[in-house]
Amino acid sequence: MAQDLIQRVKFAHRTDGESFSKTLNQRVNAYFKEKGISKYADARMYLKSFIILSAYLVPLILMLVGVTTSIPAIVLSWMLMGVAISGIGMSVMHDANHGSYSSNKWVNKGVGYLLNLVGGSAENWKIQHNILHHTYTNIDGLDADTVTFPMLRFSPFAKRRAVHRFQHIYGWFFYGLMTVSWVFMKDFKQLVDYKNSGMTTNYDTGFGLIILRVVLFKLAYLFVTLALPIYILPIPWYGTVGCFFLMHFIGGLILGMVFQAAHIMEICEFSKPNEEGKMKDEWAIHQLRTTTDFAPNNKLVTWFVGGLNFQVVHHLFPKIDLMHYPALAPIVTQTAKRFRLALSLYSTFTEAVLGHGKMLRALGREDIPSSMVVLT
């Protein structure tokens, strides 16, 4: 990521009359004032956090203390932990690292480090996700979520290779490797890239200490979730290694489907700034055009994915806790209609995943599908 490009990009800004973002912010603020409630997490999120963390920690502890000993029970325990990894990633640590879990920054920092508990890096996440993805969604060269390794093409601006013709078939396998990549490679590579781009200077410690902290967390994670189980569990070491990767594959696949179905879609725009770095839309409208919702009426999906099925609300208000999104979605919809703006929506999660599959196929067979590209 080029720091000079980040500094040059400027979203449009209206100085005359009312704007979509100003009106929307006023209406959302009025909602919380009228309800007399906080924008941060409430008892619903605390209970959810307890359930998800228990689903991750309890199976691990039962295996390590020798309560869970049969092979089927061990395999099911690792599978449950994989589902819990995705839950931690979509809700608990996600809210905290956005600063929306609590009004206390130390609580947010501590809960945010739960990402390290499942093998990731809170330091890297805050740059890759909070800054690059949320600010520059689907903008060529800046959104880290559209920049992936050569086997996958997530942007119409990326180079198309012959192998991409089949990415709608094999791409799901690579989603399953997402969290494994966090553990062993991606966090280090991205942090080095961000350091070279001058994006780690806001941390209160030097880059060497950042890397040391990441390494120590990962070593502790691997000791507890891999080394100890290999030593303790009554199965061959390769069985434990296989279960470890099964856990991560399940977590990565769920995370991949949820996050990619929010932006890498045929109904989402992909854009570039002009030579002066200017974008055609104000930032809030840009978020509407590059983001899609799914399954708004499915309470189980909403609970499990942490409200990220209301992805438009999340991108507009990342510092408001996810549990409030279902209530805020009608406000966003009504305000968008007021300004004659369209919102993208899939009625079910299945439709969204199938839509993402269609997008992967299109990106693998066309250089630049013109219907989804916006050049400023």
Confidence class of residue 217 from pLDDT cuts 50, 70 and 90?
Answer: very high
- Unique residue bearing structure tokens 């060269």: 141
* Count of residues making up the chain: 376
Q: How far, in Å, CA of 216 to CA of 228, rounded?
A: 16
pLDDT of residue 154: 94
Confidence class of residue 11 from pLDDT cuts 50, 70 and 90?
Answer: confident
pLDDT digits (tens, 9 = 90+) for 134-167: 999 999 888 888 887 889 999 999 999 999 999 9
Cα–Cα–Cα angle for 248, 80, 75, rounded to 5 degrees = 80
Beta bridge partners of 293: 345
The predicted model scores a pTM of 0.92
pLDDT digits (tens, 9 = 90+) for 302-359: 999 988 999 999 999 999 999 999 999 999 999 999 999 989 999 999 999 999 999 9
Q: What is the mean pLDDT of residues 101-114?
A: 94
Percent of the chain clearing pLDDT 70 (strictly above): 94
- Concatenated DSSP letters of 92-120: IHHHHHHT-S-SSHHHHHHHHTHHHHTT-
List Cβ neighbours of 269 (8 Å cut-off, separation of 6 or more).
138, 289, 290, 372, 373, 374
pLDDT for 367 beyond 80: no
Q: Do residues 235 and 74 lie in contact, with contact meaning Cβ atoms separated by under 8 Å?
A: yes
Task: Could you list the beta-strand ranges (E) of 225-277.
Answer: 270-272
> Residue 76 corresponds to which amino acid?
L
Confidence class of residue 366 from pLDDT cuts 50, 70 and 90?
Answer: confident
pLDDT digits (tens, 9 = 90+) for 49-71: 999 999 999 999 999 999 999 99
Total domains present in the chain? 1
Sign of the alpha-carbon torsion through 241, 242, 243, 248 = positive
pLDDT for 204 beyond 70: no
Residue 111 CA: distances (Å) to CA of 32, 45, 217, 266, 376? 24, 12, 15, 35, 39
pLDDT for 15 beyond 80: no
List Cβ neighbours of 332 (8 Å cut-off, separation of 6 or more).
24, 312, 313, 316, 343
Mean pLDDT score of the chain, rounded to an integer? 91
User: Residue 31: which domain range?
Assistant: 3-375
